[in-house]
Chains A and B, each alone.
Chain A
Amino acid sequence: MLVNVRFSEDLVVRYVFLMTIVIMAGNGADGADPAHEAAVTIDRLFQAAWKRDQVTPAGRAEDAEYFRRLYLDLAGRIPAVSEVRDFLADDSDDKRSRAVTTLLDSPASVRHFTTSLRNAFIPQANSQPQFRALIPGFEAWLWQRISEGRPYDQIVHDIISTELNAGAGAALSATTSPDAFFVVRELKPENLAAGTARAFLGVRLDCAQCHDHPFDGWSQQQFWNMAAFYSGFSQPDDQDADNPLLTQPMTEKTDKRAISIPGTEDIVPAIYLTGLEPDWTDPSRTPRQMLADWIVDSQNAWFAKMAVNRLWAQFFGRGIVDPVDDVSDNNPASHPKVLDLLAQEFVTSGFDVKHIVKIITATNVYQLSGRQTHVSQDEPTHFARAALRGLTPEQFFDSVAEAVGYYQPYRSDNPFVVDMNSPRAQFLNLFRNNTESPLERETTILQALAMMNGTFINNATSIDDSQTLRAIAEFPAMGNDQKLETLFLSALGRRPAPEEQLRFGEYLSSGGATDDSKAALADVFWALLNSSEFLLNH
């Protein structure tokens, strides 16, 4: 079954080679691995799609390339020099899958998934400054659940059905709770309906709010049926437009199951998007609990697909459906069977995110190189080579910090409280980008200026101020070659190529532009930190 007679010779050779590697990896430490089996099936689906579309995929990523990408995708930062050295030195067959398992249990990974889910669930906190104060409480709540290994469906259920700290007024925003999900949507049933559909189902209902949206098959009635589940909130009497953080106490009528469509006489009941009517026989179940039950139900095809699609996008820069939150007939999946398979795995694993991550990272698709070998690899929907993609602001700063050896002081009582004057907060602000897709990430002129001339990078590349650089520069046992290697490993997670060794080595030994070998070292580090290889994921 491996060899299809119609494969070109080249493809067959590559295919057999790749399959052999997968099989070897699968036969590693933990024997029959369910994630491995799914990964093989996914690779087979991609092979078929590439063949159909006459695509020649890129080669397999080298260890260093793979390792850096894995760290960024899973831990939200580049690997440390020692971590790269250890990985490169390890010659066991299953080191890639072991690295995944180790990283999945790391605090950095919990932190990274927390940030990713927060971005997905309360995107307003990024785009609208008045909601930024909500981030710490929401992240602390998510972080706790992710670190406890709670299944994804439970987390979502808890958000939708949470008992809001009603009446707490301003305190609402400061608590360790999922309340921010409601606050950023101003407790409005219409915003909550649209937000729920988009964040958890990948369905854009928004346009059906005001009129039927025949294009996507959603009617205005269906929109308000969904909103009715959130109809119990009283709006504060004295609503202050300048203060949406709800400083007024609010109440919720948990027996309200219908809503009137504004501007009409119509009152519509709470009905699920599928048209199914909720079974209200248990009077103790509130409308939000009933909605949460239906959203996370294993029969709800949207729910699992949305979650695995978003995970896929975290590892590839684009979803199988892309944008990830726009599932509709007009926006078909590039590889629907892959999406189905992952969704099925997600359900049967009990909504275990780690299981899906293990599958995705075990595929050959994920392990492709970013180096182009054929033009057919340039179409991003083929996933035929690792795309160049932007970092999130958090990935960016945590990577810079790792590379330059900057110690990030966290407040021990609450690591999520952000000091707005810290370098991290300043960088997050500057590198908060507005493009929707990481594949379309744009570097701004202001970002370029901050990297070239800003105080933080300037200190990091100054012999007087940078601990890391001085340690390398003044370490007597290191020759120029080793110094150069350490700088490359710090910034790029790889050793210099022979011609780089020559070119940069020459620069170092000539004393650079200032006839000063230490300053020359700083120049090299500056160039590395400003390179697109450092500033992008690939």
Chain B
Amino acid sequence: MQRTISRRDVCKYSALSLLGASASGWLPTIAARAGQSDTKKNRNCILLWMSGGPSQMETFDPKVGHENGGPTRSIETNVPGVRIGENLPMTAQVMDHLAVVRSMSTKEGDHSRATYFMHTGYLPQGPIRYPTVGSFLSKELSNEECDLPAFVSVNPFQAFSPAAYGPGFLGPAWSPLVVASQMTGEDAEAQQVSFEVSNLKRSGQVTQAQANARLQLLTSLEHDFLKNRPGGPGRSHVQSYQQAIRMMESGAVDAFSLDSEDDTLRDAYGRNPFGQGCLLARRLIETGVSFVEVNLSSADGAGGGARWDTHQDNFEAVSSLCGVLDPAYATLITDLEHRGMLDDTLVVWMGEFGRTPKINENTGRDHWPKSWSAVLAGAGVKGGQTYGSTSEDGTEVTNDPMTAQNLMATICKALNLDHDVTNYSNVGRPIPLSDHGSEPIQSLLS
């Protein structure tokens, strides 16, 4: 096939229509999916991920009066009879929106395997590359009008298990846009957290016509090279360029700029990367993004480290982490509520596992998958309740044990999704959103 590209040709098209016009198939088009979007408004999800495994006993399942409980006291919440750890006073005031699952019970006590398990709902096994929760949920929830990727991940800490954060067999179209926070400002005191997406603007030296011509030249190169070189890296390359170009042409990226937000609200979230990340999550959901994951793994709120992994000095470490978590989490819930978004937005709080009830010789707590807590709030969730419980010493689930698979099924149901919906895996086997045999827990749902 011979094609020549004239100046007249390239001026006719915008960059996007160029990509759309490429019928040659090297750009499996977003447009093809557009027809499938239905009129019903889809729900959205925000995952607050606590990398390292937060202590349930210092957060949502305090054990006051037992030696395993340590010095942590409990406080009242705005739901009579429900008490949580003293580290979360603001969260206690939104308890009426929360459903605290105190009976999470899993078997994975290794960071890598547990991170993979809780992010995908499946254990790493054989050649199947399971997609991360943000990928498979955003695939179901996404709406085609949004010019941003359906899945955005803020400050992820991926070192424990890189595969737990990827789209797996769903492919690069469902990869997260990973956004890292930056600190801007000369003065150390007055530093601001920002989330600018770099390089979104074309250089001023390049005209629109020239940019279109460049893309058309690129399209022809890609077509020739990739037509007989199938494989993931080539597909990913093309799709990322396609998404990047769509973002460049869209005003939706304004969502990343927090400057237009009220100062009081920004303060309430906490002027740190996690607090501002939660605010960003709300703005992204407003813009049409379907799934936002915000990671909290260090007391400065940034993505580095895994400070919830409190083998030493558990009480001090959890207290300082909660100093970041508490205002951000509580403000996110109230902010979503005030804007009428909470009914359509599910907020999930969890880590990969809990901590040992028994306090170790370093005043720390080690890995504990047997009995721990996770929290749901918002869309589809019946708030103001606890689900399941643990024994006085915290070592056993005493009723309503909750598996990772049932939690995943419950999350699907809360989002109005059928957890039995399957995707074809890379080995050609249909894989349901949550594993075979899992069931949503009805009493958690409204």
Q: How far is the CA of A448 from the CA of B199 in the complex (A)?
A: 9
New A-B pairs, 17, CB < 8 Å, besides A453-B201, A532-B237: A206-B110, A210-B110, A378-B231, A442-B236, A444-B175, A445-B247, A446-B197, A446-B198, A449-B247, A453-B203, A512-B7, A512-B213, A513-B10, A514-B210, A526-B218, A527-B217, A533-B225
Q: Would you call B286 an interface residue if the criterion is a C-beta within 8 Å of the partner chain's C-beta atoms?
A: no
Distance in angstroms from A222 CB to nearest chain B CB is: 17
Which B residues from 205 to 260 make CB contacts under 8 A with A?
205-207, 209-210, 212-214, 217-218, 220-222, 224-226, 228-234, 236-238, 240-241, 243-245, 247-248
The answer to whether A435 and B162 touch (CB under 8 A), given A453-B203, A523-B213, is: yes
Q: Are A514 and B6 in contact (CB under 8 A)?
A: no
Closest chain B residue to A388, Cβ basis: B231
Which A residues from 439 to 459 make CB contacts under 8 A with B?
439-450, 452-454, 458
Q: How far is the CA of A370 from the CA of B199 in the complex (A)?
A: 32
Q: How far is the CA of A502 from the CA of B247 in the complex (A)?
A: 33
Across the interface, which residues of A come within 8 angstroms of B41, CB to CB?
none
- Smallest CB-CB A-B distances: 9 pairs: A527-B217, A513-B213, A434-B162, A127-B159, A448-B244, A449-B199, A388-B231, A532-B237, A443-B240
Listed in ascending order, the chain A residues whose CB lies under 8 Å from chain B are: 124, 127-130, 206-207, 210, 239, 241, 370-373, 378, 387-390, 434-436, 438-450, 452-454, 458, 462, 464, 497, 499-500, 502-504, 506-507, 510-515, 519, 523-524, 526-528, 530-533, 535-536, 538
Q: Would you call B384 an interface residue if the criterion is a C-beta within 8 Å of the partner chain's C-beta atoms?
A: no
Size of the chain B interface, CB-CB below 8 angstroms? 72
The answer to whether A443 and B237 touch (CB under 8 A), given A206-B110, A434-B166, A448-B244, is: yes
The answer to whether A443 and B172 touch (CB under 8 A), given A450-B199, A506-B5, is: yes
Across the interface, which residues of B come within 8 angstroms of A127, CB to CB?
158-159, 162
Closest chain A residue to B298, Cβ basis: A242
Distance in angstroms from B338 CB to nearest chain A CB is: 31
Q: Are A458 and B205 in contact (CB under 8 A)?
A: yes
Counting chain B CB atoms within 10 Å of each CB, the highest count among A206, A439, A444, A445 belongs to A445
Q: Are A452 and B199 in contact (CB under 8 A)?
A: yes
Q: Would you call B200 an interface residue if the criterion is a C-beta within 8 Å of the partner chain's C-beta atoms?
A: yes
The answer to whether A439 and B233 touch (CB under 8 A), given A513-B213, A531-B222, is: yes
Q: Would you call B304 an interface residue if the criterion is a C-beta within 8 Å of the partner chain's C-beta atoms?
A: yes
Across the interface, which residues of A come within 8 angstroms of B231, CB to CB?
378, 387-388, 439
Q: How far is the CA of A524 from the CA of B221 in the complex (A)?
A: 10
Q: How far is the CA of A538 from the CA of B220 in the complex (A)?
A: 18
Q: Are B199 and A440 in contact (CB under 8 A)?
A: no
The answer to whether A526 and B229 touch (CB under 8 A), given A452-B244, A453-B203, A503-B5, is: no
Question: Is the contact region of chain A dominated by helix, strand, or loop, or is it mixed?
Answer: helix
Q: Would you call B90 an interface residue if the criterion is a C-beta within 8 Å of the partner chain's C-beta atoms?
A: no
Closest chain B residue to A464, Cβ basis: B205
Across the interface, which residues of A come within 8 angstroms of B129, CB to CB?
440
Distance in angstroms from A132 CB to nearest chain B CB is: 11
Q: Are B212 and A513 in contact (CB under 8 A)?
A: yes
Q: How far is the CA of A502 from the CA of B4 in the complex (A)?
A: 8
Q: Are A512 and B221 in contact (CB under 8 A)?
A: no
Counting chain A CB atoms within 10 Å of each CB, the highest count among B149, B165, B172, B203 belongs to B203
Q: Are A442 and B225 in contact (CB under 8 A)?
A: no
Closest chain A residue to B110, Cβ basis: A207
Q: How far is the CA of A164 from the CA of B3 in the complex (A)?
A: 64
Across the interface, which residues of A come within 8 angstroms of B109, CB to CB?
210
Q: Are B233 and A129 in contact (CB under 8 A)?
A: no
Q: How far is the CA of A510 from the CA of B8 in the complex (A)?
A: 10
